[in-house]
C-alpha cells in the first residue's frame, strides 16, 4: 500500500512540474494593406489564449521602433483565459512597404513571441511650403543650402535646385558678390506666377586654389532688382585632391604620412591661458610629401607655420596653440591636414585637455 502511495505522489509531483502556460496567438501577423500617410495611427489587435495548464503572465512588450506603440493584458491569464496585445502604427514619414516587429515576453515557452505588422503606405501630397522650404520674398527655394559635396580640385561641378514663384506677379532672381569659382543662374530668367524654375550652380574648383576640405560661401540675393537683407544662399563643397590619374607605378612611390599620434593632450591649463602642442610625423613614402593646407576646427586654435615639403624618410611637425578663453572642463578640438598622400589626403588631428576654472589646481 505504501508503495502504491509513493508512486501516486511521484506522478502527482511530475505532473505539477510539467504544468506550464502556453501563449497561443490566433495570428502573429497583421497586414494593414494599403494605408494613407495622412490617415493617422492604425491599430492592430492580436488576440491570444492561454492553452497551457498554469497561469500565463506577459512581463513586457517591446516594439522594434518608435513608430509603434503598444498595449497588452497586464493581469495574469488563467488556463483557458484570453488576452490581447495591441499595436498602433504611425505612418507619418513612410512612403513605401513596411514591416515592423513586436516582441512579447512571457513566462511561457518560448519566452519570446514575435508579432509582425506590415502594409503599404501611400505618401500624402506635400504642401508648397514643405517642398520649397526657403522663402526669398515671393519666391521659394527647395533649400537655403546648395551642396556640391565632394569635389576634386581639378573638377568643374554642376548642381541644380528647384524653386517656385508663389506670388501673383512675375519674379526675377539675381545673385550678388559671387566669387570667381562659383556661378549661379536661374532659368527661366523671369518666373511667371505659380511657375517653377531651376537654379543652376557651377563650382570650378580650379579657380579656388587655396581652399581645401569643407568650404562654404554665403551668397546675397536680389529679387526683382532689390537686395534682400539678412537672407543668404549657403553654398558648400568638400574640396579634395584628384588622384584618379595616378598610375600604379606612381602610387607605388607616393608619399606616405605616418603620424606618431593623431592626438595630443595639453594637460591642464587655466582659463584665458594658452597651450602649445605639436604633432610629429614621418614621410615613409618614396617621394616628397606636400602639406597642402592645415586648418583648425575652431577659432580658439591658432596654427604655427610648418615646412610644407618633407623629403622621403624625413621628419616633420605641425604646431598649434590653443587659447582656453572662457572654456572649462574637458576640451576636444580638431585640426584638419590636407596632403598629397593618396591614402591620407585628409587627416584629422585632435587636441585634448582640461581647462580649470578659478580655484581649481593644475597639479
pLDDT tens by residue, 162-182: 999 999 999 999 999 999 999
Q: Collapsing DSSP states into helix, strand and coil, what is residue 252?
A: helix
- The class level of CATH for 249-356 reads mainly beta
Label the pairing between strands 213-223 and 226-240.
antiparallel
Q: Collapsing DSSP states into helix, strand and coil, what is residue 15?
A: helix
308-363, pLDDT tens digit by residue? 999 999 999 999 999 999 999 999 999 999 999 999 999 999 999 999 987 666 55
**Percentage above 70 pLDDT, the chain:** 93
Q: Measure the CA–CA gap between 152 and 244, rounded to whole angstroms.
A: 10
Q: Measure the CA–CA gap between 351 and 329, rounded to whole angstroms.
A: 14
Q: Measure the CA–CA gap between 132 and 163, rounded to whole angstroms.
A: 7
* 81 within 8 A of 58, measured Cβ to Cβ: no
The DSSP output letter for 300 is T
Q: Which conformational region is residue 80 in: left (phi greater than 0), alpha (psi within -120 to 50 degrees), or beta?
A: left
Q: Which of 21, 25, 22, 20 is nearest to 84 (CA)?
A: 25
Report residue 92's pLDDT band, with 50, 70 and 90 as the boundaries: confident
Distant-in-sequence, close-in-space partners of 128: CB < 8 Å, separation ≥ 6: 140, 164, 166
Architecture per CATH, 128-240 = Sandwich (2.60)
* 289 within 8 A of 310, measured Cβ to Cβ: yes
* Correct CATH for 21-122 of 2.40.50.140, 2.60.40.10, 1.20.200.10, 3.40.50.11740: 2.60.40.10
User: How far is residue 270 CA from its own chain's centroid?
Assistant: 35
| Range list for CATH 2.60.40.10 in the chain | 21-122, 128-240, 249-356
- Other beta carbons within 10 Å of 150: 11
Q: Measure the CA–CA gap between 237 and 145, rounded to whole angstroms.
A: 11
Tell me the whole-structure pTM to 2 decimals: 0.67
1-60, pLDDT tens digit by residue? 445 445 444 444 444 456 899 999 999 999 999 999 888 889 999 999 999 999 999 999
Amino acid at each position: 500500500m505504501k508503495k502504491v502511495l509513493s508512486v501516486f505522489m511521484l506522478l502527482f509531483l511530475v505532473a505539477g512540474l510539467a504544468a506550464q502556460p502556453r501563449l497561443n496567438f490566433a495570428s502573429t501577423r497583421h497586414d494593414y494593406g494599403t494605408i494613407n500617410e495622412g490617415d493617422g495611427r492604425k491599430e492592430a489587435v492580436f488576440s491570444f489564449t492561454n492553452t497551457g495548464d498554469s497561469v500565463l503572465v506577459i512581463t513586457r512588450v517591446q516594439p522594434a521602433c518608435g513608430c509603434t506603440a503598444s498595449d497588452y493584458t497586464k493581469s495574469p491569464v488563467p488556463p483557458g483565459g484570453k488576452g490581447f496585445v495591441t499595436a498602433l502604427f504611425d505612418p507619418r514619414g513612410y512612403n513605401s512597404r513596411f514591416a515592423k516587429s513586436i516582441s512579447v515576453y512571457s513566462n511561457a515557452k518560448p519566452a519570446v513571441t514575435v508579432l509582425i505588422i506590415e502594409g503599404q503606405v501611400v505618401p500624402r501630397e506635400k504642401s508648397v511650403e514643405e517642398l520649397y522650404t526657403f522663402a526669398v520674398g515671393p519666391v521659394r527655394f527647395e533649400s537655403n543650402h546648395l551642396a556640391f559635396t565632394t569635389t576634386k580640385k581639378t573638377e568643374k561641378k554642376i548642381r541644380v535646385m528647384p524653386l517656385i514663384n508663389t506670388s501673383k506677379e512675375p519674379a526675377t532672381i539675381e545673385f550678388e558678390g559671387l566669387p570667381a569659382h562659383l556661378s549661379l543662374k536661374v532659368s527661366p530668367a523671369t518666373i511667371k506666377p505659380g511657375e517653377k524654375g531651376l537654379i543652376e550652380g557651377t563650382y570650378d574648383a580650379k579657380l579656388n586654389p587655396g581652399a581645401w576640405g569643407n568650404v562654404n560661401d554665403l551668397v546675397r540675393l536680389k529679387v526683382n532688382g532689390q537686395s534682400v537683407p539678412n537672407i543668404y544662399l549657403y553654398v558648400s563643397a568638400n574640396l579634395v585632391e584628384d588622384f584618379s590619374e595616378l598610375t600604379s607605378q606612381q602610387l607605388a612611390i607616393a608619399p606616405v604620412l605616418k603620424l606618431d599620434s593623431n592626438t595630443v593632450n595639453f594637460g591642464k591649463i587655466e582659463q584665458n591661458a594658452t597651450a602649445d602642442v605639436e604633432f610629429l610625423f614621418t614621410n615613409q613614402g618614396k617621394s616628397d610629401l606636400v602639406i597642402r593646407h592645415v586648418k583648425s576646427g575652431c577659432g580658439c586654435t591658432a596654427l604655427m607655420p610648418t615646412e610644407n615639403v618633407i623629403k622621403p624618410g624625413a621628419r616633420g611637425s605641425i604646431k598649434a596653440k590653443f587659447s582656453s578663453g572662457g572654456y572649462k572642463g574637458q576640451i576636444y578640438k580638431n585640426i584638419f591636414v590636407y596632403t598629397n598622400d593618396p591614402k591620407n589626403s585628409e587627416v584629422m588631428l585632435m587636441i585634448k585637455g582640461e581647462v580649470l576654472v578659478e580655484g581649481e589646481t593644475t597639479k
